[in-house]
Structure 1
Amino acid sequence: MRHGKKINHLSRKTAHRKAMLANMACSLIEHKRINTTVAKAKALKQFIEPLITKSKAENNVSAEKGTHNRRIVFKNLRDKYAVTELFSVVSEKVADRPGGYTRIIKLGNRLGDNADMAMIELVDFNELYNAGKPKKKSTRRSRRSGGSDAEVVSAEKETKVEEAQTETEAKTDDSKE
């Protein structure tokens, strides 16, 4: 029985699974996005998120902590270049993000074996995805009114308030002269 065993074994022995996740993590750090199966992407996300957290500057305030975190990350990744890249480039980009450093986007099924494919990427390194969506204007809606009608009503109220303010400002300017 496998009750309470939360790790996904990915049909591999322990050494093979750890080596595969380390190699995939190094590729993700180097290329900023990789294509793989959904199961491997989910396992990689659980593997790499704590490592990115350890690489952030706020966790490496003292030299002792920084060296300790670097050694822990190197133990998992086993690649000097990936560790250097993680602690320099990646940690600077994700410094203000409290978590959720990776994104999994499902791509459909692979032709050969019909496996569910996904792209896993570092969130802060995709300029197209982040810049494509402008921030929405926040509108206040009352609980009783519906969705889109309330937005139109609130926009009309805002324009009326702005017009009233400009009229009062114009009147005060006229009275001063």
Structure 2
Amino acid sequence: MRHGKKFNHLSRQKGHRRAMLANMACSLIEHKRINTTVAKAKALKQFVEPLVTKSKEDTTHNRRTVFAYLRDKYAVTELFREVAAKVGDRPGGYTRIIKLGNRLGDNADMAMIELVDFNTLYNGGKKEVKKTTRRGKAKKAEGTPEAPAAETSENTEATE
């Protein structure tokens, strides 16, 4: 029985699986987007998102922890410099999985996994601006009656 066993083993032993996920994570950090199967993309998402969270705070301990997973000093450097600078204000959800269809050779479900803040097509190359709330509109509405009052006073002067 498989009670409580949620981790996808990807038909690999532990050492092979960890090496594969580390290589895929290094490629994702370097290229900002990679194509793979849906199952591997979901496993990679679980593998890389805690590492990106650790990279937000640049300490020696966090660098050594991330290096233990990735085992590539260039990927660790890029993660802590470029990626952490872009995702510093994001609370989570650093990756996006987009399904691409099936592979021709074996009909496997393919997907593209990418770092969210590095896609300029979805956010137009600029940061998303938070929309105003209804409270902000209510404050503006309070200030607007003053302007028509000034116009009415000018109109009364002109009629006199």
User: Scaled by the length of structure 1, what TM-score is found?
Assistant: 0.75
The correspondence for 2:83, drawn from 70, 81, 90, is: 90
| Aligned-pair CA distance for 1:173 | 3.3
The alpha-carbon distance between structure 1 residues 169 and 90, as it changes in their structure 2 partners (threshold 3 A), is same
Q: Which amino acid aligns with 1:88?
A: R
The correspondence for 1:131, drawn from 124, 138, 142, is: 124
Secondary structure of the 1:173 match is: helix
Asked if 1:171 is matched to 2:148, the reply is: no
| Aligned-pair CA distance for 1:174 | 3.0
Q: Gapped runs of 5+ residues in structure 1?
A: 61-65, 141-162
Q: How does 1:23-172 map to 2 (within 5 A)?
A: 23-57=23-57, 60=58, 66-131=59-124, 167-172=148-153
User: Scaled by the length of structure 2, what TM-score is found?
Assistant: 0.82
Alpha-carbon distance in structure 2 between the residues aligned to 1:173 and 1:73: 69
Q: Which amino acid aligns with 1:47?
A: F
**Partner deviation per Cα, 1:138-171 (whole Å, 9 max, x = no partner):** 898xxxxxxxxxxxxxxxxxxxxxx988654421
Secondary structure of the 1:118 match is: strand
| Aligned-pair CA distance for 1:2 | 2.0
Q: Which amino acid aligns with 2:53?
A: T
Q: Across the two proteins, how many residue pairs are aligned to each other?
A: 148
Alpha-carbon distance in structure 2 between the residues aligned to 1:129 and 1:51: 24
Alpha-carbon distance in structure 1 between the residues aligned to 2:67 and 2:10: 23
**Partner deviation per Cα, 1:27-75 (whole Å, 9 max, x = no partner):** 0000000000000000000000000000003xx4xxxxx1111111000
| Aligned-pair CA distance for 1:135 | 7.3
Identity of aligned residues (%): 74
| Aligned-pair CA distance for 1:6 | 1.4
Alpha-carbon distance in structure 2 between the residues aligned to 1:164 and 1:67: 57
**Partner deviation per Cα, 1:90-118 (whole Å, 9 max, x = no partner):** 00000000000000000011111110000
Alpha-carbon distance in structure 2 between the residues aligned to 1:11 and 1:127: 35
Secondary structure of the 1:12 match is: coil
